[in-house]
Structure 1
Amino acid sequence: MGVLTLVHILISFAACAEALRRADFPQGFVFGTASSAYKYEGAVNEGQRGPTIWDTLETTRNADIAVDHYHRYKHSILCSLSFFLLDGTGDPNEEGLNYYNSLIDVLLDKGIQPYVTLFHWDLPQALEDRYGGWLNSQIVDDFVHYASTCFTEFGDRVKHWITFIEPHNFAIDGYDFGIQAPGRCSILSHIFCREGKSSTEPYVVAHNILIAHAGAFHSYKQQFKKEQGGIIGIALDSKWFLDPLMFGHYPPMQKLAGDRLPQFSTQASKLVSGSLDFVGINHYTTLYVRNDRMRIRKLVMNDASTDSAIIPTAYRHGKKIGETAASGWLHIVPWGMFKLMKYIKEMYGNPPVIITENGRKAATSTVTSYGHCSITGSGTFVYTVRFGLYYIDYNNNLTKIPKASVEWFRQVLAQKTANLEYSGSTVAIS
């Protein structure tokens, strides 16, 4: 199914006054929710779980318990997968296999099809220590081995695979700014990071991720797809990665990044080009950009993020692009999603697309996802406030308190009418 088969179902809140019915969506359109292992599982010292780079980074604000999904998954609809190989590359951890097999079975029993993400930034610390993790091309073989193990163990029931979530954010925040695991940077390194090189490492990491993704894709296609019949894609938030996956080469970045940007060999280009069955898109907000003609940001930071030679801003001619949500970075810009989908359709030949993450953060718990007004292509996954459909009370035995999003989600899927209060106006969804 193409990106814009539902022409203009992707609409702004103003146009949402007309009820949108569940029946308006094509047969097989997918609604879902999203989660990640580090944020949900907990049980950090159980099941022979090994430490990850996030455990190392977060020494005070950790996820040792999180929402205790490891013990409570039978009463939950959340799905996540993390590395489960002993020491990162060895034999599968049987306790981990049992947990994920049981989780998948419970989901299927509840009528929920798992969309399994293989890597959501939680690399085993053992691989980081052994050879530098994603900075070393050895990670490619280890990732493909891990992915193939997942296909072997779970592929009889899992039919939708996502190799990576937001590799752009992982590369920039983890290796340029140093604000996420593994916390590497050279920007004010004496304050933020112990080591790293912000101008080169993000490019190396991104390059290895692209080749690792392609290796996993071809492993599935050649060894598993005929028997298992599943599909495999990647969830992106950046053109930087989509051009190589579609065309086998980077967008025009060389002029700005120079020889710091790795190049694909002829063989690697063929491996990467076309290596996806669908494109996952994570989209929360939209910003304007203006040229950084004086290269002031580059002179100050000398990092990969400033190679783009642009300055992002929420304002144009003194007018803000959209209302700001509870998080200052998140501006509510429904037309931004539509323009992004239109660009992907026209630029990349109308590939199958799933909106794997979208939403807004509000100051209260009575929120809804933009999912009801940002729906297009093959499906949409809700990912909302704190971000989540439920508020977890950490001071009361991890009690789950449903937000307004839950009732909306339940009613729209049941083909009932859901009324949502937003900025003083009621939006009817049926």
Structure 2
Amino acid sequence: MGNPFNLFLLTVVMTCIWITEVASDEITNIFGTNDSFFSSFPRNFLFGTASSSYQFEGAYLADGKGLSNWDIFTHEAGNIVDGSNGDVAVDHYHLYLKDIELMEYIGTNTYRFSISWARILPKGRFGSVNIAGIKHYDKLINALIGKGIQPFVTLTHYDIPQELEDRYGGWLSPQIQKDFAYYASICFKYYGDRVKYWVTLNEPNVVAIRGYRSGLYPPARCSASFGNCSSGDSEREPFIAAHNMILSHSAAVNLYRAKYQGEQKGNIGIAINAVWYEPISNSLQDKQAAQRAQSFYMNWFLDPIMFGKYPEEMKNILGSLLPEFSSNHLQNGLDFIGINHYTTFYAKDCLHSTCVQQGPCVSKTEGYYLRTPTKNNIPIGEPTAVDWIYVYPKGMEMMVTYLMNRYNNTPMFITENGLGEMHQPDSSINAFLNDDSRVEYMKSYLDALISVIRKGADVRGYIAWSLLDNFEWLSGYTTRFGLYHVDYTTLKRTPKSSAHWYKQFILNFTRFEAVYRSTS
């Protein structure tokens, strides 16, 4: 008989080899590639799912919460396609512990959620702090951390206290800058010892455009030629609202850096809706139109935050319509850029060329370009059930590359990416559970993300939208983005194929980390 210790060592070595081979085989099976795919992700990469307070929480009047602008807007007839609202949503407010178990099943290590401003400060600065609201998020954060899940917290995801609209017009007044900074300071004070990732504003570009140009979102303001609104000025108000959002972001960042960041060691950024635009032709005019599209949509916010000024394309076209910044304290005003990316469009020049076809973005205040998903009647990518999403993974790579180059490779997180399906009331649940199209979408976009990470992009996380089917703004409950199916009658959560796939994907990544990086 051989030496028992040597036999033990041989067993350990053979087991490690077997684990390595199995992990490599499973990695290959799940992604059609090998361990080199996972080696491209940085250490401590975050994989997560996302939500927002109005879309998930429900409990819209529970425990002292005040009314938000979306509470008011959804209760007005005709605003939501199915006549629904977020009064109950998916009742995440009461079911968050069960939902954390769903995250634990998948194996995610971060959860992006937003705090309801009206739940913390029902009257803004004009009333007291709602301690019941403070305690709710305290319990949510502790429960997440107890499961090893990093809270990734957004301060406002479209919803603001209705009190601020009623008192001074919300984002149209500079007063909101003080209100936002006050609200942010409360969140930093109560939660900053545990929250290491803060997002000030979710998609302020969407809020400015849909709230003040087209009037599709609250406060539903626009000019008569832009939409069906009772009041508003589509040529001026989007830029006033955007200006106040930028300065509110700046106020929160400056406060965090001056008072909290040194001790709490967290990071603060903003999440931008990031549509990629491809020029519809190789002409110089169309290439310039694609650049204007980025400037009038995304750089509109990021340039002032990073460089202290609006993009040149905007200043050249808009002139005095753009407000002025009175100081340079905006520069480098974030630690990371959150990228909410779903789709890509073509951009056609309408500044130097004639655009016979009318459509989004052809006016002066939009940048004089035509946004279209087709060229010669051929869509840019595979159409989906959601009419604004086309599957074009290259757009992910191009978008991240663009941001990397323009903003000196500031750290980035994919804070939203996902695929929606249209709800059919008479469909069986299996029609939603077998969501192979969502799996293929996530695979292809993660593959594109890896391509740009390999080129040096400092991307530190991927957060899928969304954990659960939920209230999808103007679409109500007619569109489903969740990795888990929700029966809106019983609120039962059921994992879809995408939840199982994401679980296996993260498991293989975790195995790679344990097996390969432990020896490197």
With the shorter chain as reference, the TM-score category is: 0.7 to 0.9
* Correspondence for 2:129 among 89, 92, 113: 92
Q: Does 1:398 align with 2:491?
A: yes
* Correspondence for 1:381 among 452, 463, 466: 463
Structure 1 residue 304: Cα displacement: 7.0
The corresponding residue for 1:333 is 392
Q: Which structure has the highest helix share of the two?
A: 2
* Alignment CA distance shift 1:107-1:219 (3 Å): same
Counterpart AA for 1:259? S
- Structure 2's unaligned 5+ residue stretches are 1-30, 76-82, 101-110, 274-297, 423-430, 454-458, 470-479, 511-520
Written as runs of structure 1 = structure 2, the 5 A alignment for 1:246-261 is 246-252=306-312, 253-261=314-322
Q: Work out which of the two has the higher radius of gyration on C-alpha atoms and give 1 or 2.
A: 2
Deviations 1:315-372 (A, max 9, x none): 2244321101111111111111111111111121111010111122246531235253
The corresponding residue for 2:343 is 285
Q: Does 1:262 align with 2:323?
A: yes
Written as runs of structure 1 = structure 2, the 5 A alignment for 1:28-427 is 28-59=44-75, 60-77=83-100, 79-83=113-117, 84-89=120-125, 90-188=127-225, 192-237=228-273, 238-252=298-312, 253-265=314-326, 267=327, 270-293=328-351, 306-362=365-421, 364-365=431-432, 366=435, 367-368=438-439, 370=442, 372-375=446-449, 376=453, 377-384=459-466, 386-395=480-489, 397-415=490-508
TM-score, normalisation: structure 1: 0.87
Deviations 1:273-322 (A, max 9, x none): 11100111111001110011467699999997753100011122443211
- Structure 1's unaligned 5+ residue stretches are 1-15, 418-430
Counterpart AA for 1:272? L
| Of 356-365 and 292-301, the range deviating more from structure 2 | 292-301
Structure 1 residue 403: Cα displacement: 1.4
Deviations 1:368-407 (A, max 9, x none): 3525334341111111571221111112x11112111111
Deviations 1:164-188 (A, max 9, x none): 1111001001111111122111135
* Alignment CA distance shift 1:209-1:171 (3 Å): same
Supply the distance in 1 between the matched residues of 2:235 and 2:357 (Cα, whole angstroms): 10
Counterpart AA for 2:33? E
Structure 1 residue 91: Cα displacement: 2.6
* Alignment CA distance shift 1:73-1:374 (3 Å): farther
Q: Is the 8 A contact 1:200 1:303 kept in 2?
A: no
Paired positions, count: 397
* Alignment CA distance shift 1:159-1:416 (3 Å): closer
Deviations 1:171-228 (A, max 9, x none): 0011111111221111357x72221111111101110011110110010000001111
Supply the distance in 2 between the matched residues of 1:409 and 1:156 (Cα, whole angstroms): 30
* Alignment CA distance shift 1:118-1:333 (3 Å): same
| Of 138-147 and 173-182, the range deviating more from structure 2 | 173-182
Counterpart AA for 2:73? L
Supply the distance in 2 between the matched residues of 1:280 and 1:374 (Cα, whole angstroms): 17
Supply the distance in 1 between the matched residues of 2:98 and 2:201 (Cα, whole angstroms): 27
Structure 1 residue 258: Cα displacement: 2.5
Supply the distance in 2 between the matched residues of 1:261 and 1:282 (Cα, whole angstroms): 25
Q: Is the 8 A contact 1:185 1:197 kept in 2?
A: yes
Supply the distance in 1 between the matched residues of 2:447 and 2:487 (Cα, whole angstroms): 29
Identity %: 41
Counterpart AA for 2:178? D
